[in-house]
Structure 1
Amino acid sequence: MIGKVTRGHSVARLLSYLYGPGRHNEHVNPHIVAGFRLPMALEPGLARGNRDFRHLVGVLTSPLDTLRHTPLASPVWQCSIRAAPTDRPLSDDEWADIAQEVMHQTGFAPRGDDQACRWIAVRHADDHIHLVTVLAREDGRNPSVHRDYFKVAKACHAIEERYGLTRTAPADRTAAPRPSRAETELAHRKNWPEPPRTALRRHVAMAAAGSETEDDFFATLKEAGVLVKIRHSVRTPGEITGYAVALPHHTNQKGQPVWFSGGKLAANLTLPKLRHRWSTPPDAHGRRAPRRYAPSGVELTHQERSAAYQQAARATATATWQMRHIQDSAVRADVAAATSDILHVTAAITGNRELAHAADFYDRAAREPYGRQPRQTPYGSTLRTIARTLARSEISARLNHSHRPSLTSALSQLIVQLAALIETVADLRQTQQRIAQAAAARKAAVQLTDLTRTRPRQPSPPLPAVIRPQTPNHNAARLAAADFPVPLSQHLATAPYQRPRTAALPPAPARRRPPSR
């Protein structure tokens, strides 16, 4: 059950909409199921075939005239409570109990308080109701609206347990901000494959996974065709305090880019938290070792790149063992977070959309609740080093990519190990009672497992890329993708990875028996 809160000024306009035909779905039999008085006494009457809201509006807004303090800027509080599509239909009495629980948890109309705010609950569909509350108590005091969103979520969780409804995830900030309705409709009108917020979040996550410093991070974003705006400190000149990104084709009415800060993309993509990720973990004595930068522009042969992918697969398999046998919560949290870097870099190397979607799914499972950053450990730093090595390794563009053997087998082994590691993370989140994160991890694992199936699959469209001028040395993501003339999923369908089997020993020669006497 989900509750959505909005604020407004006019009760009359809100009632006109609730009792009207609706904008996106039909309003059927709108009526009041609960309120501060009996619903029958509050139901608006009919006048010449139309609803007459004048009496109801006057009753609801009368406490505003007796306030001892200045009314709130938006005194009309509206909350829509919606059940899941798979939940059973609820009766009017059950919806009335749900409305009373929400009003009690928010503190606007606690049970037994005769001087609380005036409110009603209107039902015009089977799966949801609308709560209308005027934020003015009858004793002349203003109600507290502090943390009303979280109070509504708490009430919804209590309702789900009471009526056996579909459980929703807690508001723990592990989910990335979703694109707004305006962003989604704009992407649909422009025929974009996805909203700009989603594409930017993926670009930033991939750049952060393959970078070691801020300079590398910003340079990688600019190389990917992303516009970057750096925010400097007002008190300390020259100090960088934040950043914002935008896509060149996403502009406002004035033709200016629409910027998104790191915090608007995900809770773990702010600049301070990225700096925490790039820092080296302390040793047993609390000292931090100096960072060793991987050289860029390294020319790798086919065997060297295959060895790099095999090393990444072995490190991923080791991380799976560590997740299962090391009971330290800090180690598990750090390994789960670092797994996201490996997955994002692998998606960038292959340019495969299905891998990118798997990385998007897993992002929520990798984050800690309420934006907390896991303490860095050597176990997670090993995975991050592997990810940066894969992202920073380059090979000369003079090689003829069309005649090099395919690396599908080595990458398939890495994907298989990633799927096993993510399944382990899903089990951990399930044990921690983080149901939404466990579901996100399992969804990513299924996406990875589907890539290794032997049944024929339709090739997935490649990720949209920005055309950039060629340079003497290419980024590893583009160079490795040259090994795949068709999407990775089709390669894996025709040549799935198989574990090497031990060759059978040749049969021993038959021993001759001595002649019998």
Structure 2
Amino acid sequence: MIAKITGGKDTANLIRYLYDTKKKGHTDPHLVASWDGFAPDPGRTNDVDATKRALVADLDLHVKQAERLGRAPEKHVWHCSIRATKTDRHLSDDEWAEIARRIVAATGIAPTGDPDGCRWVAVRHAPDHIHIAATMVRADLRTARHWNDYLTADRELATIEEEYGLFQVIRGDRTAAKRPARAEQEKAKRAGQARTAREHLRTTVRTAVAAATSTEEFLHLLEHTDGILVDIKHFPSGDVRGYTVALEGDVNAAQEPIWYSGSELSPDLSLPKLRKRLDATEPQQSARWVNPWHQATAAAERIPHHLDGDDDAAAQAHLAAFGEALDALPLLAPQAIRPQLHQAAEAFERATRSRIQAEHQHARALRSAVRAMVREPAPKDGALLAMLLDAAVLVVIAARRWHQRRHHDQQVTAAHQALIHLQAAYEQTATAPLTALAQRRPPQQMVERHTILIRQAMPAHAEQVVEDPAFDALTAALATAEKAGHDPKQLLQQATDERALNDARSPARVLTWRVERLSTRPAPSDRARVARMRSAALRQGTSVSPAAVAPASQPQPPQARRR
């Protein structure tokens, strides 16, 4: 059930509309409930006009009394329409009456047991909805307290849906971006545009945020984006206080650009909120160059673990940073998969926000890696993009679960929609690099040795990995890593420990990309391997000889025979 609440200052005009049988869809208008159960009903009388006047007079009684004392509010009419969904069963008048009583009680219009509650009526003029008309002056001539009436009505409707066995509507937390108005949608349709100006600008601004490292760079990118008009607002001191954007050619009746502030595009796109996020973007500081795609993938792979933790503010920050990563990917991906990535980013945008306030400093690593990625596109073979998309799929699954636990219904739906598009983009991207890797399958003897290591490292998933079509690619990745001096057993253990495989549709693919990324690091020296094994041995209470850690690929030379 959906409630829509508005205010007004003309009781007679509202009653006239509710009982107007000439309006489309208005059939048999009549009362189903009222403040005392005895209100005159224009739908059940021979003299409709006279009964309407009587009903308006009764509803306005306390308003007129308050007016004489100078205490009546300017807008004294409260109007709430409640509509059932198309799949809901037909509700009787008695059921609608009970629903109306619960709504006026929940919203503070007429609290249960309060003899001084406001006067109200519930009118039904269609099978699937009712209208509640109330005047907001109580019998004690005080104005009704109905703050947050939409939220309280919505919560009550959620309970009603469950009790009455009705369709349970997906509800939001008022952090969603504003949807385009019908007029905006019609205007875009007439212009032959698939999206409204508001939606186009929202995507453009998000992409600029994903690429920028500072507020100044963000505004610079916007100003140099084709087809976008930017108006930067300043304080008298000269400091930037805000910005508005418009789409070239999108004008009003006076042929002036239609401007949108950042907050009108989305709650998190106001300049103060953007500044907080951009200030949490740290510059790359490393003694040696590290591939930013590997850094971004590593940061993304850690997000499910953060979401399983107890720090909701940090988790929310990681989701916001991940949303920025999705916003940036269409800039870097091949043309063929950009539509899927655009749709994934637009869908997941809703899952990046909730009532939980993000502490953006927790997501510095991913945010800075994404900025570096924009400046260093991935090679054309698609392997790095596939690696990141593989991690992204598991992040979205974890995000959906995180929102489910917190009853963020809209965000759960958004994550599910994003997952569909991400999986499609991943399948398109991963096929070629995995096929190329599988063609380097090592000899059978090495495959059998790797199979044993896999069974030891992940007994719960071993059979699924070995039977996976991507198993050849995994063994090829392990063989390449081993040739570079890495210990395949250690790599597998590291890959398994750092990411649970339960959510993966193809554990072998997950492990392949993980091994590929981990093996790009310099192979540990003999001294490092000795130290690592001694540390493990100390934990287990055993001892390790240096010979035990000699590299398997470097057999010892034969000893000379004494004569």
2:3 is aligned with 1:65: no
The answer to whether residue 419 in structure 2 is matched with residue 417 in structure 1 is no
SS at match of 2:120: strand
**Inter-partner Cα distance in structure 1 for 2:7 and 2:129:** 18
Give the CA deviation at 1:347.
2.2
Structure 1's 123 and 504: CA in aligned 2 closer, same or farther, altered over 3 A? same
**Match of 2:184, SS?**
helix
Q: Deviations over 1:304-347 (max 9, x none)?
A: 99x65455444433444x34665543442222121101100002
Number of residue pairs matched by the alignment:
437
Separation of aligned partners in 2, 1:354 and 1:21: 48
User: What is the letter of the counterpart of residue 418 of structure 1?
Assistant: A
TM-score (normalizing by structure 2): 0.70
Uncovered stretches (5+) of structure 2, i.e. residues with no partner: 447-563
Closer/same/farther in 2, CA of residues 280 and 451 from structure 1, 3 Å limit: closer
**Residues 293, 227 of structure 1: CA spacing in aligned structure 2 closer, same or farther, 3 A cutoff?**
farther
Summarize the Cα distance change of 1:428–1:499 in structure 2 as closer, same or farther, 3 Å threshold: farther
Q: Which residue of structure 2 aligns with residue 374 of structure 1?
A: 359
Residue of structure 2 equivalent to 1:505: 443
1:463 is matched with: none
Identity of aligned residues (%): 33
Q: Distance in 1 between matches of 2:169 and 2:313?
A: 26
Change (3 A) 1:309 1:258: same
Q: Which runs of 5+ in 1 are unaligned?
A: 282-289, 295-303, 396-404, 454-490, 509-517
Counterpart AA for 1:430:
Q
Counterpart of 1:470 in structure 2 is: none
Partner residue, 2:197: 196
1:337 and 2:320 aligned: yes
Q: Secondary structure at the residue paired with 2:60?
A: helix
Q: Which residue of 2 is the match for residue 360 of structure 1?
A: 346
SS in 2 for 1:73: coil
Q: Mark the CA change 1:143 to 1:314 in structure 2 (over 3 Å): closer, same or farther.
A: closer
Shift of 1:364: 1.8
Q: How far, CA to CA, are the matches of 2:435 and 2:114 in structure 1?
A: 69
CA change 1:346–1:138 in 2 (3 A) is: same
Q: How much has 1:56 moved relative to structure 2?
A: 1.6
Q: Which has the higher helix share?
A: 2
- Residues 77-118 of structure 1: CA distance to partner in whole angstroms, max 9, x if unpaired? 111112233333322222111111111112111122232211
Q: 1:317 aligns with which of 274, 280, 301?
A: 301
Q: Cα gap change, 1:259/1:293 in structure 2, threshold over 3 Å: closer, same or farther?
A: farther
| Distance in 1 between residues matched to 2:48 and 2:59, nearest whole Å | 23
1:393 and 1:506 map into 2 onto residues whose CA distance is 38
- How far off its partner does 1:265 sit? 1.5
Per-residue displacement from partner, 1:132-179 (whole Å, max 9, x unpaired)?
011222332222343323332233233234324344455523311111
Shift of 1:451: 3.0
Higher mean C-alpha deviation, range 143-152 or range 118-127: 143-152
Larger Rg: 2
Q: Indicate the SS of the match to 1:138.
A: coil
Alignment map for 1:126-137 (pairs within 5 Å)? 126-137=127-138
* Alignment pair present for 1:138 and 2:157: no
SS in 1 for 2:28: coil
Between the aligned partners of 1:317 and 1:387, the Cα distance in structure 2 is 14
Per the alignment, do residues 71 and 193 of structure 1 end up closer, same or farther by CA in structure 2, a change over 3 Å counting?
same
Rounded to whole Å, the distance in 2 between the matches of 1:41 and 1:446 is 54
Structure 1 position 119, deviation (Å): 0.8
Aligned to 1:285: none
* 1:229 maps onto 2:231 in alignment: yes
Deviation at 1:494, TM superposition (A): 8.2
2-structure distance, mates of 1:91, 1:383: 55
Q: 359-368 or 336-345: which moved more?
A: 359-368
Shift of 1:251: 1.1
Which residue in the other structure is 1:4 paired with? 4
CA 1:43–1:224 in 2, change beyond 3 Å: closer, same or farther?
A: same
Q: Measure the CA separation in 1 of the matches of 2:33 and 2:437.
A: 68
Amino acid across the alignment from 2:231: K
TM-score by length of 1: 0.76
Q: Residue type of the partner of 2:346?
A: D
**2:21/2:28 contact within 8 Å kept:** no
Equivalences for residues 194-273 of structure 1 within 5 A: 194-225=195-226, 226-234=228-236, 237-273=237-273
Displacement after TM superposition at 1:389 (Å): 1.4
Pick closer, same or farther for the CA change 1:312–1:52 going to 2, 3 Å: same
